[in-house]
Structure 1
Amino acid sequence: MAPIKPNQNSMMPHFSLNRISTRSKSTLPCHNSKEALEATRTKRKADCSPPKENKSIKRLAFGEKNINLLENIKKAKKTITVKKVTTQKKTVASVKTVNKISQKENLECLRAPALKVVTRQSKPTVSNQTAVKSKEVLKELNKINKRLSNEFEKTDDSLYYTASEDGSSNESTYCSAKKQHNLRSSSNSTVEIPLIQEVQQNAKQNVEKREENISNLSKQIKLKLNIGNHEVPDNVEDFDKENWDDCFQVSDYAMDIFNYLNEKETKFKIPDYLDRQICLTRWMRSLLVDWMVEIQESFELNHETLYLGVKLVDTYLSRMTIGKETLQLVGAAAMLVSCKFDERIPPMIDDFLYVCDGAYSKRELIRMEINLLKVCGFELGIPISYRFLRRYARCARIKMPVLTLARFVLEYSLMNYDTVTIRDSKLASAALYIAIKMKDVSGWTETLEFYTGYRLEDFKDVVLLLNNYINQPPNPKLMTVRNKYSHKIFFEVAKVPLLANNQLFT
């Protein structure tokens, strides 16, 4: 590397090698003599360093004693003259601080024997005293002056007296005054204890009254809204009562929640909209739903996310007319919105753009998302058939293989456009009934009638519609749902033998 040249304009100081020396020139007797030049050239010897002749002496690493070095240090200390500085320290009166006492008690305490005052004996002065005082002596003098000026002033809160004031009284008067003061302080503490207990009792009573008022109000609200007052028939299993103590089941409100969803279905009813869509067909919608199922499987999303996405697509198409170029964009935006609503960690926008194979830009997807929410009125709490299916299966204690088969029937029906106008609660009831009959478990029991609110005659036409759609030969371009439920994780329910329509009602 090339040597760095000093810059005169830089802020860093530049040191020349000629200015470095081992000993200052002021210590030399003569600057021009040869002896002075030789003294500058010789190396500086450290004070109290061992002689060079004894080569066996070395510096020890862990603090062991070096006898020769200690002897040299002792010799050097003897040659150093130390001047002692002594000062006369002032006597300070003793102080005793107590709490405020009345004038009578103050007089009795003053008659007590005086406390002994211990004065510090000053050291004898030395004749060779220097005029300059050391820093330590000045600090001590400043401390004494501060203490005398600030701390030892006579106040009402302190008893300040010396031996010269009044020391003729007996010790008994002082002790009696002290005992009276202690008795008063102890009596005050005994009075405070019952007061604290009364305050605690009053607080507990107030809390109990508030809890009673809250419980009474909740009971009145439940009576007005008929919450928690479900009379279950004798032939029906009370599933909510068995799980009443489980806070995660929400058994107190489960029945009312699903009754509310049944009433809300009429608000989100979807009409037949394909007559107004000039550019769209049933086949195109089936392809879109199949693609959305593939997204749900590849991103490992919840099933509720898939059902809500399909519902948002149908709601948007029933209110807006679009071209076939933007159909996939609507499906991607619907899945993005449903992921934000149901998923704990939704996928990123770039993930949906990647699935669309770069057909749309990020700006187009965000604008479609905003437009979708505006058209749907930001109402995402739509009743979904999958939620009804899980509720009905749990109340009827349906086993997992049967429930999975019902999920296959229901998810496969999403691609069928004829199911768009049917209520979701009926679709869930029909799918569960088909699965029960295919597995030959039981019929439509009274427990299912009570929790679903439907008899078999109410959704018989829906059962026939779903069964006919399953029995159709599968299309090779719409195989995502069948391949999904043919896996061992889903008990291979897609391979279960199908039933004819006449076998379903026997």
Structure 2
Amino acid sequence: MFTRNAQRRGLRDITNAGPSESNVAVKPLSRVPAPSDAPIDSARSEVVPHPPTTARSSTSYQHSGQVDNIDARDSQDPLCATEYVADMYEHFRSVEAQTSCRPTYMKGQTAINEKMRSILVDWLVEVHLKFKLVPETLYLTVNIIDRYLASTKVSRPKLQLVGVTSLLIASKYEEIYPPELRDLVYICDRAYSKSEILDMEETILKGLSYSITIPSAHAFLVRYLKAAHADKKMVQLSCYILDGTLQSYSLLKYLPSELAAAAVYIARRAAGRNSWSPTLLKYANYSEEDVVGVARDVMREKNSAQSDLRAVNKKYSSSRYGAVANTTLSNDF
């Protein structure tokens, strides 16, 4: 049961992130999204990709050099759309550059910077977890924020409004039960009204020309984990690594498919498997040489991340996610 009296925390101070920021007002944020004192609907339980089931031993393909047809076993499942899945991912690869941002847009912003973006995303990871939303909602939220900031100057006091409104838009697109508007007002400690959020929703959608559909890094991750014959721990570890990339502005230089491939590569090495495989080469369409440089940058960013941005580590330190945040990851590639 979530109550009004639950502990609150403030959005971390974004001072020292740039010049003339000593007078930044910190907006307090609630840890709890339910002002009605009612528990969040369990139907919103966050979806973690399950390890693919296979009638054959996955280890046989790890060492034989054969290429597995990863869709054959699902040919009778209409939800897997095996007739179209190859075309779908080919399309995703063809459009991902158009729906992604590069780490240059902050040059056009005068009141905010990449550190403030990282703080905002860290908070959104926690809010996303509290609302029990599906992973795609988080990735779409961050994408909407980046694309909007790439085209529109935003003042410092409005950055959190952009963030929470982007979460609303993404939730409406991805969720069966999106958060209620009053709950979003509450998690911002009523710093913004319902009308302000709705006005910003219209502004963002117009700014993006109502283009919301994207091939996210998580969508690619699900495909690559299937090609990797991933077990539960590898799934959780890959999700942990990929979620951690969301806070990094500099990693926007990589395409979503590249980041997903790097997450699988790092997780496989941590699990003691071959770093890459013929099946991954076929379905990811990246060689090990293509992936290793991205993986190095991902690990470099992870190791240099701000110690006060802990939402992803806290999430994946829980038993629900296998406590994979405690796994030692090597960057000796």
Q: Report the equivalent of 1:487.
A: 318
Selected match of 2:271 from 439, 444, 449? 439
Match of residue 392, structure 1, among 204, 212, 224: 224
2:134 equivalent among 287, 297, 302: 302
Query: Which residue, 361, 372, 378 being the options, matches 2:204?
Result: 372
Equivalence for 2:246? 414
3-state DSSP class of the match of 2:108? coil
Please list the CA deviations of residues 122-181 of structure 1 after superposition, one character each: whole Å capped at 9, or x if unmatched: xxxxxxxxxxxxxxxxxxxxxxxxxxxxxxxxxxxxxxxxxxxxxxxxxxxxxxxxxxxx
Identity across the alignment (%): 33
Report the alpha carbon displacement of residue 267 of structure 1 after superposing the two structures with TM: 1.7
Contact 2:236–2:324 (Cα < 8 Å) also in 1: yes
Alignment of 1:453-472 (within 5 A): 453-472=285-304
Q: Provide the residue aligned with 2:24 in structure 1.
A: none
Is 1:403 the counterpart of 2:238? The answer is no
- Per-residue deviation, residues 227-273 of structure 1 (Å, max 9, x unmatched): xxxxxxx9210011221111121111111111111001122131310
Higher-RCO chain (CA-CA 8 Å, sequence separation at least 6): 2
Question: Over residues 430-457 of structure 1, what are the superposed CA-to-partner deviations in whole Å (9 max), with x where a residue is unaligned?
Answer: 0110011111122200100100011122
Provide the C-alpha distance between the structure 1 equivalents of 2:275 and 2:126, rounded to a whole number of angstroms.
33
Code of the aligned partner of 1:375: G
1:244 is aligned to: 75
Name the structure 2 match of 1:347. Answer: 179
| Structure 1 residue 413 displacement after superposition | 1.1
Number of aligned residues: 268
* CA shift for structure 1 position 473: 6.4
**Superposed CA offset, 1:303-328 (max 9, x none):** 11000000000000000011111000
In structure 2, distance between residues paired with 1:257 and 1:299? 29
Contact persistence 1:289–1:415 (CA under 8 A): yes
CA distance in 2, matches of 1:290, 1:481: 7
Q: Distance in 1 between matches of 2:209 and 2:203?
A: 10
- How big is the shift at 1:297? 0.7
- 1:353–1:361 contact (8 Å) kept in structure 2: yes
Per-residue CA shift, 1:409-440, capped at 9, x if unaligned?
Answer: 11111111111231000000001100111111
What are the within-5 Å matches in structure 2 for residues 17-32 of structure 1?
none
**TM-score, normalized by length of structure 2?**
0.78
**Matches of 2:114 and 2:107, distance apart in 1:** 11
SS of the aligned residue for 2:105 comes to coil
Q: Which runs of 5+ in 2 are unaligned?
A: 1-64
Aligned-pair CA distance for 1:471: 2.3
Tell whether 2:185 aligns with 1:335.
Answer: no
* Aligned-CA RMSD value: 1.3
Following the alignment from structure 1 to structure 2, what is the Cα–Cα distance between the partners of residues 338 and 263?
22
Match of 1:270 in 2: 101
Post-superposition shift, 1:282?
Answer: 1.5
2:99 and 2:173 mapped to 1: Cα distance?
Answer: 17
CA contact (8 A) 2:144 2:166 kept: yes
Partner of 1:231: none
Q: Deviations over 1:9-60 (max 9, x none)?
A: xxxxxxxxxxxxxxxxxxxxxxxxxxxxxxxxxxxxxxxxxxxxxxxxxxxx
The residue aligned with 2:116 is 284
Gaps of 5+ in 1: 1-233
Letter aligned with residue 280 of structure 2: L
Provide Cα deviations, 1:212-236, integer angstroms capped at 9, x if missing partner: xxxxxxxxxxxxxxxxxxxxxx921
Where in structure 2 are the equivalents of 1:39-58 lying within 5 Å? none
Distance 1:366 1:421 in 2: 31
CA contact (8 A) 2:185 2:191 kept: yes
Instruction: Give me the whole-angstrom Cα distance separating, in 1, the residues matched to 2:305 and 2:192.
Output: 34
Contact kept? 1:471, 1:498, Cα under 8 Å:
no
Matched residue type, 1:436: R
In the TM superposition, what whole-angstrom CA distance separates every residue of 1:368-420 from its partner, at most 9, and x where no partner exists? 00011111111111110011001110122111101111111111111111112
Partner of 2:34: none
Q: Which amino acid aligns with 1:300?
A: K
Distance in 1 (CA, whole Å) between partners of 2:306 and 2:147 is 27
DSSP 3-state at the match of 2:160: helix
Amino acid at match of 1:367: D
Displacement of 1:474: 5.2
Matched residues in 2 for 1:459 and 1:327: separation? Answer: 33
Contact preservation (8 Å) 1:405, 1:435: yes
CA distance in 1, matches of 2:182, 2:277: 48
Residue 281 of structure 1: how far off its partner (Å)? 1.5
Q: Alignment partner for residue 85 of structure 2, among 251, 254, 262? A: 254
Answer yes or no: is 1:448 the counterpart of 2:280: yes
Moved segments of 4+, more than 6 Å: none
Question: Residue 148 of structure 2 is aligned with which of 316, 322, 341?
Answer: 316
Q: Which residue does 2:125 correspond to in 1?
A: 293
**Larger Rg over CA atoms:** 1
